[in-house]
Structures are given as C-alpha cells and as structure tokens.
Structure 1
Amino acid sequence: MPSPDIFQHVRIIMGMVIGLSVTRLLNGLVRIIQHPGQTPLYPVHIGWVLTLLLMLVHFWWWEFWLIALPSWTFQTYLFLIVYTIVLFFLSAFLFPDTISDYAGYEDFFLARRRWFFAFFALTVLFDLVDTLIKGPAHYAMFSAEYWFRVPVYLILCGIAIATPSRRFHIAFVTVGLLYEIIWILRHFETLS
C-alpha cells in the first residue's frame, strides 16, 4: 500500500483523538464563559489552556509531513497514537470532569501540576522522536535552536513539577506561549 494511503488512515485516527482534546478544552472554556462566577479563574491555567489549544492545532499542521514517510510500520503508527493520547491527557488535566474538591482553578492547577508537567515533558520527548521519524531533512530545518529547546523545556517542566511558585508558573506559561507563537510563525507558516 502506498505511503500516502496509509497516512490518510493514520491521520483519521489521530484526528479523532486530537478532536476530543480540542473539544475538551473548548467545552471547558465555554463552561467558564457560561458560569463566570462558578469557579474562581487562574490566569496560569487559562494560559496553559491557550498554549495547549495552539499546540493541538500546530500538531495537526506539522503532522502533514508524515505523508512523505517512505514506509510505515506498526511501531510508527502506535507511537503517533500514543502521542495523541498524551495530548488528550493534558487536555483532561486542564479540564477534569469536576473540580469540586478544589477552591478554584488555581488550587486545582497547583495541586495537579505534577501530572500536567510530567505529561507536558512527555510531549517534548514525543516531539523529539516525531521530528527524528520525519528524517534528516525535516529536523535540519530547525538548526541548533531545536536541540537547545528540547532540554530547556524538560528542565522547565522539572522545575514546574517541583515548585508551586506562582511567579515561576506565570513566567513559564507567558514565555512558553509567546515562544510557541514565534516558533510556529518562523518554522511552520507553510508546508514545503
């Protein structure tokens, strides 16, 4: 079977899981808008929701490069499905079914930050493997910045797991979101 046909099959399954992730985040945001006084908001939480929405949209865009894979294996397919599942878990960590055990999103986020940032670190590692799967021509377009970016994100996730410092979390999500926007605009504006 030609690689593009396999890619279309894999893309449909990945799309279902990514669609569930986006739906979870959008439903959470709509719930906040519909019931603004129900649960106290936390800007860091909202920042990570926006960051993850951007990551999900970006993921869907950059995975188009998989169409150029010369051959597919079950391991590649399984890797991609697990990657999308990790992204779904991040969405679920930001908007669980209920946060009634917590005083608000700040209390919830800080209490559950270890899970969130452990999975966020996993996405960084999955992105690294995903980049390598796409081949030398793909990862060569990122220069040394990519190889600096990966360990920095892993270190920041480790700090985020360890510290409940509100200043650190505000700085991390602010710089992280701005950097992601700039990274996408510099590297992924077009697929060529």
Structure 2
Amino acid sequence: MNPPLPSPEIFQHVRIIMGMVVGLSVTRLLNGLVRIIQHPGQTRIYPVHIGWVLTLLLMLVHFWWWEFWLVTLPSWTFETYLFLIVYAIVLFFLSAFLFPDSINDYTGYEDFFISRRRWFFSFLALSVVFDLVDTLIKGPAHYAMFSVEYWFRVPVYLVLCGVAIVSASRRFHVAFVSLGLLYEISWILRHFETLT
C-alpha cells in the first residue's frame, strides 16, 4: 500500500483537472461574445442573455478563486474529488446552454434563451445546491463566515430559478438577471475579496 499523499499535493492535482473544465467554460463564453462582436448583424442579441453570460463569467472566475479554500482540507476522498469535477461540469453545461453550437433554429438569442430556459435554470438551481455542499465540505469555519445570509441566499435563488423555469415573462427575466448580477458582485466583494 502506498503512503497517503499530503493534502496540498492532492489539491494541486484536483485543481488542475477542475481548471481544465472551468477553462473550457470560460472559452465557450468568450468565443460566444466574440462571435457576437464579429458578426453583429448575424443574430439578434438579447440583453437578458448577455446578462447571464456576464454573470456566469463572474461565477466561473469566482468559483476558481473560492475553490482555493480546498487546500485546507485535512483529507481527500474519491467522492469529494468526483463531486468537485461534477460541479465544474455543471458550470460547463451552463456555458453551453448560453452559447450552443448553432441557433439557426431560432430567430435570435431571445427566442433561443426563452425556449431553452428550463434547461438553463434547472442547471443554475443545481449549481446553487452544489455550492451549498461545497461550502459544507470546506468546514464549519468557512461556512461560519457567511452567517445567516447564506441560508437566505440559497432558498431565494432556488425559488427564483423555479419561477424562471415556468415563466417566460420578459420583465421577470430582466429583473432576475439584473439583481442576480448585482448581488453576485456584492457577495464577492463582501466575502471573497481576500483569501485570508
């Protein structure tokens, strides 16, 4: 039997694999944005769609930053490793739902986004659940820094995702992405500005 590896060495290995998946997600979003800039008349843009692209880019950058806390895990299991890889894959799916290979079957990004919203918001809700488990994995000290706001944040996001799945209301979707992006920026500045 091989001697166990120190936790920081395992973390570096896991971080590389997660980084590959997160890198694919960021690449997909950036390629989609560049395609819109390069061919502005090819497909009609939709501000809500662009808002979620920006929100997801921020979430991906944030994900990569907050996962550094995993370096403090005293021990690793395959289940923890698999969970983190699947979490990164969920984020990749969100990126792919925002920029598919082709939207030729749709009149533009609004038509595409509204007709495929069930998939997008189902995976967004799943990412909220994954975030909760990820926070608990990092231990009580990590969780304690969020106080009661975290237990407010999780169910509110889940409810809003549920409404977004069933509602095609343009006003609701504008409000959700606007408030979601502002809240995400606020959350990062208040809780994750430094790793100390």
Structure 1: gaps (5+ residues): none
Kindly provide the amino acid, as one letter, of the partner of residue 12 in structure 1. Answer: I
Partner of residue 106, structure 1: 110
Name 1:187's counterpart in structure 2: 191
Q: Could you say what secondary structure the match of 2:116 adopts?
A: helix
Aligned twin of 1:120: 124
Which residue, 58, 63, 82 being the options, matches 1:54? 58
Question: Runs (4+) of structure 1 moved beyond 2 Å?
Answer: none
Report the equivalent of 2:80: 76
What are structure 2's unaligned runs of at least 5 residues? none
What's the counterpart of residue 30 of structure 1? 34
Residue 110 of structure 1 and its aligned partner are, at CA, apart by 0.1
Counterpart residue type for residue 188 of structure 2: I
Shift of 1:108: 0.1
Q: Shift of the alpha carbon at 1:19?
A: 0.0
Cα offset, 1:134, TM superposition: 0.1
Aligned residue among 7, 14, 39 for 2:43: 39
Shift of 1:123: 0.3
1:126-151 deviation line (CA, Å, top 9, x unaligned):
00000000000000000100010000
Matched to 2:70, the amino acid is: L
- Cα shift at 1:169: 0.1
The whole-number CA distance in structure 1 between the counterparts of 2:194 and 2:16 is 22
Shift of 1:103: 0.2
What is the distance in 1 between the residues matched to 2:88 and 2:56? 12
Structure 2 partner of 1:10? 14
Structure 1 Cα separation of the partners of residues 81 and 148 of structure 2: 28
- Determine the C-alpha separation between the residues in 1 that align with 2:194 and 2:128: 22
- Offset of 1:71 from its aligned partner? 0.1
Give 2:165's match in structure 1, choosing from 147, 161, 182: 161
Question: How high is the TM-score relative to the length of structure 1?
Answer: 1.00
* TM-score (norm. length: structure 2): 0.98
CA distance in 1, matches of 2:40, 2:182: 26
Match of 1:97 among 91, 94, 101: 101
Alpha-carbon shift at residue 61 of structure 1 (Å):
0.1
* Matched AA of 1:15: G
How high is the sequence identity, in percent, across the aligned residues? Answer: 85
Alignment equivalent of 2:69, drawn from 62, 65, 70: 65
Q: 2:57 corresponds to which letter in structure 1? A: L
